[in-house]
Amino acid sequence: MDKQHIRNFCIVAHIDHGKSTLADRIIEKTGLLTEREMQEQVLDNMDIERERGITIKAQTVRTVYKAKDGQEYVFNLIDTPGHVDFNYEVSRSLAACDGAILVVDAAQGIEAQTLANVYLALDHDLEVFPVINKIDLPSAEPQRVIEEIEDVIGIEAKDAPLISAKNGIGIDDVLERIVERIPAPEGDEDAPLKALIFDSLYDSYRGVIVFVRIRDGKVRKGTRIRMMATGATAEVVEVGTFGAGQFIPGEELSAGMVGYITASIKNVRDTAVGDTVTDDDRPCDEALPGYKKVQSMVYCGMYPADGAKYPDLRDALEKLQLNDASLRYEPETSIALGFGFRCGFLGLLHLEIIQERLEREYNLDLVTTAPGVIYRIWKTNGEMVELTNPSNMPDPSEIDYMEEPIVSAEIMLTSEYLGAIMGLCQERRGRQTGMEYIEANRVLLKYDLPLNEIIYDFFDALKSRSRGYASFDYELKGYEKSSLVKLDILINREEVDALSFIVHADSAYERGRKMCEKLKDEIPRHLFEIPIQAAVGGKIIARETVKAVRKDVLAKCYGGDITRKKKLLEKQKEGKKRMRQIGNVEIPQKAFMSVLKLDSE
Amino acid sequence: MYVRALCNEIASYAGTVKEPVYTVFFGGGTPSVLTPDLLKKIMDTVVTHYDLIPGAEISLECNPGTAERATLAAYRSIGINRLSIGLQSACDSELKILGRIHDNKQFKSVYYEARDVGFDNINIDIMSAIPGQTIESYENTLTEIVNHDPEHISAYSLIIEEGTKFHDLYGDDNSVIYTHKVNDLSSHSNTRCDIPSLPDEDTERDMYHMTKEILSSAGYHRYEISNYAKDGYECRHNSVYWTGGKYLGFGLGASSYYGDNRYKNTSDLGEYLEQKGKRYDLIYIDESSAMEESMYLGLRMMKGVSITDWRKRFKRDIWDVYGKELRKLITDGLIVTDNDRIRLTDRGIDVSNIVFSNFLLD
């Protein structure tokens, strides 16, 4: 296939604007799949993705389109994740493309992620053309949205296809536009191999399957390849392209093409996304730009609810990591929760997805501790330590100062909620860095926010305070000095390590109080009174009490009640089993997660 | 038709039961709605097919709204020698809340007519923690029934059970919750303002403790968590349940413990009338289940569990099986041992479910 007939592109959009649906339509129209084979959303093949309506793992499909000029074109549609947690993956996927389709909802217009993604695409020098989706909605205002795109983003939108991906309206127009507007790839087939890894996948039969975009040169079975950043080498077993939901083996991949390589690589870590693949015998001079080591942003402890399941949890994490290089974990021990792992994630959504997969696919019952970010502690001896587990916080006398990660956030909203959202950012220690009216009633707010203020429930708060009209995007900006303290929780006068968390000194009292109130509701009454206290540096700042049980008695127990009575007692005993024993107190598993819901009232 | 099916069922077991019968209890629902004729038929069936010992305790549950003098006399002549009357409260407004159709006056007339026709062993059921009940009104109920001088008093604390109207109304934490179901609580309380709140936990316990005080000073000793009697008038029938004795239950939804099985009859009338004799919720009581029961039923009785009897029954020492649990419960002040017996303390009674759950074996 000559390069002139290849189009490598992706679709960028704000969440729910119809990216996956358009992808489905393109696949359908290009005729590789019959309608019967067509699952509702072909690209999203993981259960969780379908339920959450988002794409987690970037995937790619190769289809063949016969254009109106009578020629056949190969389309490599590279799917990109739609969530801010996966920004780096998005940027690598974009780097594998030559152009992008920007999907904008005809009713909603531009949203925070529309901007973030389109700027990302423009940064990668991609040719971007817009399509206006959902024109069949009663509230659709395509003309307004076109103007918005031209004003805000500054790209031509006058002749943007007006489509409804859901109802298959305007798709032909999009296909022709892909041929016209997306440039054919460039690259030198005879130069040394230079290919970008934009994704990888672990398959238990074939090992790691590396997704690549070939910039220069060729790769075929038997080529000895080298990953330039990780240094791993391997001999290619198979190359090929992506059918919908299947791998189609081929002879070779050459400059301009998108495809996969298998080489009996056992660990996805060896094939880091963003790394450059070259020919070990004839390496290229320099790697492709932009490679970053993936950084975990959010950490939490994960413990099996049943301590005996620790090996199962370890195996499950190992397996998940084969497929998800951004998941980090290391063993840790908690006095309260026993053996578990401290896990690192790209963000809170990533955390939730992993948690759900562990519970659903591996049938594990988990106790998760409060998520936290990575703090930098500068000690008086000049040493710097990164803190991922609050329990490991050094003695305050050894601490010179602490730093916390700050993000630059962009929030797009309608102006009527401006006050509410600015209030929210204020509460979360935000610092306003900008505000632009992009239309009479639409505002782009820019804030610097501490990451630890947004990892719990910022997204939910934003949605509820704006009635869903605000959208949000952020990227890590750096670290700043901050006044942070470790908040400890004492139950029946015993410190519970798994409940400690780091908090800004100014909100310690408030959070401590809420935490105690929440735990008071979560901890069942015992035979004795249980004080619940919050403390900072040994000083009690809040207290609640779980009163002792006064009565738990069955007044009647005659012939017909005995079997039922036993069930009741069994339930009581079973309930006890599902709790964690801290000293004399039994604490339900979910109490450990209650800190997550402190602001939900 | 129902009585015929019932008699057939009673007769059907005759061949299998070799043991003598010590007690008969007509209860569950309101057996006193049966005419004496029908009741006699049932009683005759029992007498014909079983070895009923002389002086057996034969009880009948009786609703104060449904019994007349002639009927009571007829019951007596059939051989019924113990009457259990479900008064619940001497306060009429509380009876309404409970959805009862009788009032205190009707109760008194039934009670004294029963005395008149020769019943010399009568139980009165009363209830504490009724919505709207106060310490004073409950104390009044207690003193009033003590004055009637019955032989036996069962004093229950109202339990809000799942699936009942009260549960819909008060929820799990016993706070008033308003739902559309409020309306069918009873015709007398069909608006929100009419729903009285449940006595709080402290008041409820105060009532419970007051029960013991008033009744014991009047000569009734507590022999089970909710049962009080004058000496020699403990209900022999109910004691069977708490000591692991065997019993056969006949009729719709009746429970039995016979052989080594606990089981239930159908609760579907149509099915019952077909007389298929199908057993529901059949549970085999193996030795460890029997041990568990011996504790959580036996400890309901104030005299507690005898260590010697336990060893005789199970051929094992109770301390070998439950040593750890017993020691902890003793340390926590929930049970005590004296000589041969293990008993609940007052605090242990208050939280007896928690105590009992310790005796379930893995």
Paired tokens of A356: 């759900």
| A49-96 tens-digit pLDDT | 444 444 444 478 888 888 899 888 889 998 777 666 777 778 888 899
Check pLDDT > 80 for residue A244.
no
Check pLDDT > 90 for residue B106.
yes
Pairing relationship of beta strands B261-264 and B255-258 according to DSSP bridges? antiparallel
pLDDT of residue B170: 65
Do A184 and A5 touch, CB atoms closer than 8 A? yes
Q: Which residues pair with B280 in a beta bridge?
A: B264
Range A116-130 average pLDDT: 88
CB A570 to CB B360 under 8 A? yes
pLDDT of residue B197: 82
Distance from the Cα of A583 to chain B's closest Cα (Å) equals: 15
Going by C-alpha positions, the residue among B315, B324, B279, B265 that lies closest to residue B294 is: B315
Rounded Cα distance between B155 and A556, Å, is 9
**Best residue of A562, A565, A581 to probe chain B, by most B CBs closer than 10 Å:** A562
pLDDT of residue A442: 83
Range B156-171 average pLDDT: 67
| B277-291 tens-digit pLDDT | 889 999 999 999 999
Whether chain B has a CB inside 8 Å of the CB on A558: the answer is yes
Check pLDDT > 60 for residue B186.
no
Distance from the Cα of A399 to chain B's closest Cα (Å) equals: 45
B354 neighbourhood in chain A, CB within 8 Å: 527, 549, 552, 572
| A414-432 tens-digit pLDDT | 888 999 999 999 999 999 9
- Judged by average pLDDT, the poorest of A128-132, A283-287, A437-441, B89-93 is A437-441
Pairing relationship of beta strands A72-78 and A6-13 according to DSSP bridges? parallel
pLDDT of residue A598: 66
Q: Kindly indicate the confidence band of residue A206, based on its pLDDT and cuts at 50, 70 and 90.
A: confident
CB B283 to CB A560 under 8 A? no
Paired tokens of B81: 């020698």
Q: Considering only CB atoms, which residues of chain B are within 8 Å of chain A?
A: 28, 156-159, 201-202, 204-205, 208, 225-226, 238, 240-242, 247, 249, 253-257, 262, 264, 281, 283, 289, 292-293, 296-297, 300, 332, 334, 349-354, 356-357, 360
Check pLDDT > 70 for residue B164.
no
Check pLDDT > 60 for residue B179.
no
Check pLDDT > 50 for residue A12.
yes
**Side-chain half-sphere exposure of A461, counting CA atoms within 13 A:** 21
Sheet containing B335-338: order of strands: B305-306, B341-344, B335-338
| A222-234 tens-digit pLDDT | 999 999 998 999 9
Pairing relationship of beta strands A99-105 and A6-13 according to DSSP bridges? parallel
Q: Which residues pair with B153 in a beta bridge?
A: B124, B228
pLDDT of residue B160: 66
Q: Which residues pair with B84 in a beta bridge?
A: B61, B123
Of B205, B247, B360, which is closest to A551 when you measure between CB atoms? B205
Going by C-alpha positions, the residue among A456, A598, A455 that lies closest to residue A516 is: A598
**Best residue of B157, B175, B252, B353 to probe chain A, by most A CBs closer than 10 Å:** B353
Whether chain B has a CB inside 8 Å of the CB on A435: the answer is no
Range A272-299 average pLDDT: 88
**Side-chain half-sphere exposure of A305, counting CA atoms within 13 A:** 20
Going by C-alpha positions, the residue among B360, B330, B359, B326 that lies closest to residue B347 is: B330
pLDDT of residue B162: 56
Do A597 and B289 touch, CB atoms closer than 8 A? no
Of A549, A556, A563, which is closest to B156 when you measure between CB atoms? A556
What Cα–Cα distance (Å) separates residue B64 from each residue in A404, A420, A507, A556, B71?
A: 75, 65, 64, 20, 12
A553 neighbourhood in chain B, CB within 8 Å: 157, 225, 349-353
Q: What is the mean pLDDT of chain A?
A: 87
CB pairs under 8 A between A and B: 95
Interface list for A 251-310 with B (CB within 8 A): none
| B216-227 tens-digit pLDDT | 999 999 999 999
Rounded Cα distance between B317 and A500, Å, is 46
Check pLDDT > 90 for residue B122.
yes
With both helix axes pointing from N to C terminus, report the angle between B36-49 and B69-78 in degrees, rounded to the nearest 10: 10
Give the DSSP letter of residue A70: S
B200 neighbourhood in chain A, CB within 8 Å: none
Do A496 and A336 touch, CB atoms closer than 8 A? yes
Please state whether the predicted TM-score (pTM) of the whole model is above 0.80. Answer: no
Rounded Cα distance between B28 and B294, Å, is 24
pLDDT of residue A35: 45
Pairing relationship of beta strands A233-235 and A501-504 according to DSSP bridges? unpaired
Whether chain B has a CB inside 8 Å of the CB on A570: the answer is yes
Do B353 and B299 touch, CB atoms closer than 8 A? no
Check pLDDT > 60 for residue B98.
yes
Whether chain B has a CB inside 8 Å of the CB on A572: the answer is yes
User: Does residue A583 come out as left (phi exceeding 0), alpha (psi in the -120 to 50 range) or beta?
Assistant: left
Nearest chain B residue to A559 by CA distance is B241
Range A169-196 average pLDDT: 95
Three-class SS of residue B312? helix
User: How long is chain B?
Assistant: 362
**Helix or strand holding residue A4 (H, E):** none
Check pLDDT > 70 for residue B32.
yes
Range B308-315 average pLDDT: 96
Check pLDDT > 80 for residue B187.
no
ipTM of predicted complex: 0.86
Distance from the Cα of A336 to chain B's closest Cα (Å) equals: 22
Q: Which residues pair with A212 in a beta bridge?
A: A197, A259
Going by C-alpha positions, the residue among A334, A303, A337 that lies closest to residue A317 is: A303
Do A564 and A554 touch, CB atoms closer than 8 A? no
Q: In A324-343, which positions are buried (b, 16+ CB within 10 angstroms) versus exposed (e)?
A: bbbbbbeebebebbbbbbbb
CB B350 to CB A555 under 8 A? no
A576 neighbourhood in chain B, CB within 8 Å: 357
Percent pLDDT > 90 in chain A is: 49
Paired tokens of B172: 């799990």
Distance from the Cα of A417 to chain B's closest Cα (Å) equals: 35
B360 neighbourhood in chain A, CB within 8 Å: 566, 569-570, 573
pLDDT of residue A1: 62
Three-class SS of residue B85? strand
**Best residue of B240, B255, B266, B335 to probe chain A, by most A CBs closer than 10 Å:** B255
pLDDT of residue B27: 87
**Helix or strand holding residue A588 (H, E):** strand A585-588
CB A552 to CB B350 under 8 A? yes
Rg (CA), chain A: 27
Of B255, B351, B357, which is closest to A569 when you measure between CB atoms? B357
Residue B207's identity, in one-letter code, is M
Nearest chain A residue to B226 by CA distance is A555
